[in-house]
Amino acid sequence: MKKLKILFVFFYMSILLNAQISKTNREITQFNRGNKFYEMKDYAKAIETYSKAISLNLNDYKAYHSRGNVYYDILEFNKAIADYTDAIGSNKKYGPAYLSRGIAYMAINNFEKALEDFNLAVKLLPSESSSFYNRGKANFELSQYQEAISDFTEALDIDPDNLYYYYNRGRTYVELDETNLAVADLTKILKKEPNNPKFIELRGLIYFHKKEYINALNDFSTLIKANPKNISFLINRGKTYVALHDFNKGLNDFNDVLDIKDKNDVALFYKGVCFFKLNDFRRSKEYFNKAIDYNPKDSQYYFYNGLANIQLRGYLDAILQFNKAIEHSKEFKDAFLQRGIAFFNLEEYYKAIQNLTKTIEIDPKDSIAYNYRGLSNTELSNFDEAINDFSMALEISPNYSQNYLNRGLLYLKTQKYPEAIADLSKAIEFDSKNLDLYSNRGLVYLAQENYNAAQADFEKTISLQKNYANGFYNLGLATYKQKNYAKALTNFDKAIEFNYTNSSQVYYLKGLCYLESKNYRSAITNFAKAIEKNNKFDLAYLKIGICHIQTKEYSEAVKNFTKAVSENNALEDAFYFRSQAYCFLKQKNYAESDYNSYIRLGGTKPIPQCK
């Protein structure tokens, strides 16, 4: 009986083993059939047979991997990734699955995930050049160029005859501005394949980075003639047109790209750049936003969107865009700089200083950051800090006139007139056609009461711009101070003709010219015009009152002095001259009351005489 049991168990195990062998044989058969279908590019049958192999063995990592390859070839990248993941789940040490999954992640622009897989592929397949090569490509896409160079070099150590490894290392050298090293790699590959389009493209890129734009343009145009639908060639020629400031031709190339692939984020971005350069900032924003929709991880897209918002004075929107740029690139110096400038324009000077200081931490040689931090400190009355900032900006960029202008204006504000003159004169050396420099130096001369020098500078501004209203206004001031009232009046009339912004002030100064010339009626007319433009102009009411005293129209004088007091009850001269007008009107009590008010306000003139 015992013997029969043993025979039965042996018989049963034999059946199981035969069944398992049969199942394994069927699995291998399906796997091999799948390979044949794959070689024949019959992808549907390949998927079907690999799936049958998997159904026979759910841990068949090679079948998962092979089916993933089919999905990759038919551009179903997410399905490919799922199969590669299952292959890894079945065999965590199967290096080809990590390599393939990394390549699939590259296809969907998930470069961080790709890099993780390539790191594992390199460990598991250290003698496989493609592991290093693909990791180099991922590092390149992540702008980790030094790491990419190291990977391509490792790949070349394993496979020194692979021209594409030289090609990718060469274009990485281009990104690092190591053009000599890029040329060395290019020379090697062009010797073997002088007509290879990819290699000619690299030569074009090298020309581009050396700023030899015409040579670059010729290479890209030659390539496009033979390959009119190649997106990379079209984008590179479009970028070259942008560098040559031929933005309309650039737009044509980027439009051709979008006709081929309407969701190409690079072409959309560069269309935005073209419109930005053409000062069409609203349209540029439209394309920057589209680029962001299709690739929300590129910090440059947010950065340029922020620049467009700054041009449209949408400073809050600009700040949001710079925030996103910094989120994706933590040390993005220019994003901190422009965010600081946006805060400056919003008059949030402390926040501006924070961002500008961060810019300087990243790049201590950024003169623009020092300049704007100096302006922010000026607004906060931190004058010593502002002087230091402007001085640092000048140390870095000693030929930039704006830095001298800003420090000169601060010296003017703090009444350091000789220093202001020195800075503004230095700025003029570098920018002799800048009328703002002459205008501001003229104002310093006015403050110094050097009226002849002021007049010369203001005349220079008018010679640079014939209809410069500010120039005529300032020239009017200089000639008025010299008591040349006729010339002053001519200049003020020109300022009005050319629409000087504060016409009320111009009419007031015209009134002063007539008052000093004792032409009281014309003075009254101009002071009245000043009041028409600004009905709260207390000094204009005061001066009309003084004119009426001179014409012995004392009641009219009282009315205007009263109006002046109603606009400014601390205007001591209005009380003094109204006291005099009341005196002439023999209203002694009112006269005494006004004189007492004048004394209380700090007046020191003797009591007015009414004779």
Query: What is the model's pLDDT at position 43?
Result: 86
Query: What is the model's pLDDT at position 59?
Result: 74
pLDDT tens-digit series, residues 297-340? 999 999 999 999 999 999 999 999 999 999 999 999 999 999 99
Query: Exposed, middle or buried: residue 3 (CB in 10 Å: 0-12, 13-18, 19+)?
Result: exposed
Query: What is the model's pLDDT at position 1?
Result: 52
Mean pLDDT rounded to a whole number for the chain = 92
Per-residue confidence band for 34, with pLDDT thresholds at 50, 70 and 90: low
Per-residue confidence band for 68, with pLDDT thresholds at 50, 70 and 90: confident
Query: What is the model's pLDDT at position 16?
Result: 41
pLDDT tens-digit series, residues 187-237? 888 888 988 998 899 899 999 988 999 999 999 999 999 999 999 999 999
Query: What is the model's pLDDT at position 14?
Result: 47
What percentage of residues in the chain have a pLDDT greater than 70?
95
In 10 A of CB 78, how many CB atoms?
A: 10
Query: What is the model's pLDDT at position 23?
Result: 45
Query: What is the model's pLDDT at position 548?
Result: 97
pLDDT beyond 50 at 12:
no
pLDDT tens-digit series, residues 441-489? 999 999 999 999 999 999 999 999 999 999 999 999 999 999 999 999 9
Query: What is the model's pLDDT at position 8?
Result: 43
- All residues at 6 or more sequence positions from 502 whose CB lies less than 8 Å from its CB, including other chains: none
CA–CA distance, 377 with 19 (Å, rounded to integer): 86
The model carries a pTM of 0.71
Per-residue confidence band for 36, with pLDDT thresholds at 50, 70 and 90: confident
**Contact present, 302 and 292 (Cβ < 8 Å):** yes
- All residues at 6 or more sequence positions from 99 whose CB lies less than 8 Å from its CB, including other chains: 117, 118, 121, 125, 128, 130, 131, 134
Query: What is the model's pLDDT at position 52?
Result: 80
pLDDT beyond 50 at 22:
no
pLDDT beyond 60 at 164:
yes
Query: What is the model's pLDDT at position 58?
Result: 74
Per-residue confidence band for 282, with pLDDT thresholds at 50, 70 and 90: very high
Helix (H, G, I), strand (E, B) or coil at 456: helix
**Contact present, 62 and 35 (Cβ < 8 Å):** no
Query: What is the model's pLDDT at position 611?
Result: 63
Query: What is the model's pLDDT at position 419?
Result: 96
Mean pLDDT for the stretch of residues 175-195: 89
What percentage of residues in the chain have a pLDDT greater than 90?
79
pLDDT tens-digit series, residues 139-163? 999 999 999 999 999 999 999 999 9
pLDDT beyond 60 at 535:
yes
Of 363, 322, 325, 361, give the one whose Cα is nearest residue 343: 322
pLDDT tens-digit series, residues 335-387? 999 999 999 999 999 999 999 999 999 999 999 999 999 999 999 999 999 99
